[in-house]
Amino acid sequence: MITTLAIAAGTMLVMAVILSFVLGWANKKFKVEVDPKIEAVIEILPAVNCGGCGYLGCSDYAVAIVTDNDPVNKCTIGGEACAKGLARIMGVEVGEMVEVFAVVHCGAHTLNRLKKHEYRGEKRCMAAHQVAGVQGCSFGCLGFGDCVRACHYNAMHIKDGLAMVDFNNCIGCGACSKVCPRTIITITGFKKNKIPIVACSNKDKAKDSKAVCQTACVACKACTKLSDMFSITDNLSKYDYGAYTADHYEPAVKAMEKCPTNCIYFVGKPVCDPSSKKL
């Protein structure tokens, strides 16, 4: 019995030694060399794999920085400190750093929505979006919180049936935008603490949009007459966020005050209730 155990143990030991040599050889033979710069970049990135940079994860972004000379200022979580560290490794300039946040292009709370119908299906936006007639507006927020569940930073909340952004917590990762079936959440650059937005996505004609929502944009062009930053496309007012500067603040305020449906207001930090129109 003892002899049998000894033979078995010896056999296993020999096999273990042989396999260790084989694995060691295979490791050297098939080792993939990684650019030291990529490893250095990965060390600086926050490793949360949020996807806010446009890549699947931090490793993919690191490869793009080193091999494709992608900009080093795309990491919203790492911010300026991360960008400076990456720039130092790559020997490049950081470039302009602009904070990005989620913006909900709908301002209609439950009471503002007309022609609503009782929905008895699954309480998820993606499910409700497949059902015709859940609410009169086929463009606006459904309010079932898919964006809230997707956010890992407690930056999205549902208030009176409308998705709201907590700009103190939002990092602009884009998780909320990706799950919104109505694509009304955009990741937008903020050149100032607060920017004006058009909180509507309805592209129907004024008569139809007014019939389903009290806060819908009616393409009246009042805003375009007060600021050249506004334009009308597909029956909907648009704002040029990328060109916004301090000089555009006063005209935007006048446009907000003139808007007949109150669908223009400022969002950002410090956080306030958009319906109050306090800046």
Query: What does each of the 279 residues of the chain score in pLDDT, given as a tens digit?
Result: 567 766 776 678 778 778 777 777 666 666 566 688 999 999 999 988 888 888 889 999 999 999 999 999 989 888 889 999 999 999 998 877 888 899 999 999 999 999 878 888 999 999 999 988 789 999 999 999 999 999 999 999 999 999 999 999 998 989 999 999 999 999 998 988 999 999 999 999 999 999 999 999 999 999 999 999 999 999 999 999 989 999 999 999 999 999 999 999 999 987 665 555 545
The residues pairing with 230 across neighbouring beta strands, listed in sequence order, are: 239
User: What domains can you pick out in the chain, each with its CATH number?
Assistant: 38-90 (1.10.15.40), 99-269 (3.30.70.20)
Integer CA distances (angstroms), 155 to 33, 74, 174, 213, 252, in order: 40, 20, 11, 26, 26
Tokens representing 37 are 């710069």
The residues near 119 (Cβ < 8 Å, ≥ 6 apart) are: 128, 131, 134
Which of 219, 102, 245, 221 is closest to 171 using CA atoms? 102
- Residue 197 — φ and ψ, nearest 5°? -130, 155
Whole-angstrom distance, CA of residue 170 vs CA of residue 165: 7
pLDDT at 242: 86
pLDDT value of position 110: 94
